[in-house]
Amino acid sequence: MQLIKSTTAIAIASLSIFSTPVFAQVNQERWVDFGKTNTGETLKLNEKSIKFEMMLTDDSLNNEDGHYDNLPKIRVVAFDYSIGGRKRSAYTKSCNRGNLAANPSWRTYTSFIDYWPQYFSVEADSVASKRMLQRVCNLSLSKQYLRKN
């Protein structure tokens, strides 16, 4: 009888441990400061946001419904950055095997029309912006390597 009570108590205690919800806090952002732009605003990069994406060569087309899936696509490096405290999402075609191409730039958006981002081009014309894009390219290379292995 004593053995049955002990076994029942252990079983109930074990179930209560496993049924207790556990919430893990995982920081999905790591903001790195690259200094000031030519206009004096601080430029930061979220290093954890860097990833590869396939997108239509013409980013002005809304392919939300898959209507344009047969059109040419290009592989780009996407990332999140902040300028003057305003967060932005962007992508670049200026990475070439981890190196920054000549005349580097990225495309970013600040608005949506019909749930589709409206992109505009940003030239990397300051030391801070070139350093940020170089870091994007370096990290994209390491992510590409990790993805293959």
Q: What are 20-78's pLDDT values in tens digits?
A: 455 555 668 999 999 999 999 999 999 999 999 998 888 877 777 788 889 899 999 99
Show Cβ contacts of residue 8 under 8 Å, excluding neighbours closer than 6 positions: none
**127 in Cβ contact with 86 (< 8 Å):** no
132 touches 43 (CB < 8 A):
yes
The values of phi and psi at residue 144, to 5°, are: -65, -40
Listed residue (101, 80, 102) closest to 90, CA to CA: 80
Residues 123-140 pLDDT 10s? 999 999 999 999 999 999
The number of beta carbons lying within 10 Å of the beta carbon of residue 80 is 19
Q: What are phi and psi of 59, to 5 degrees?
A: -75, 0
| Assessment of whether the complete model's pTM goes beyond 0.85 | no
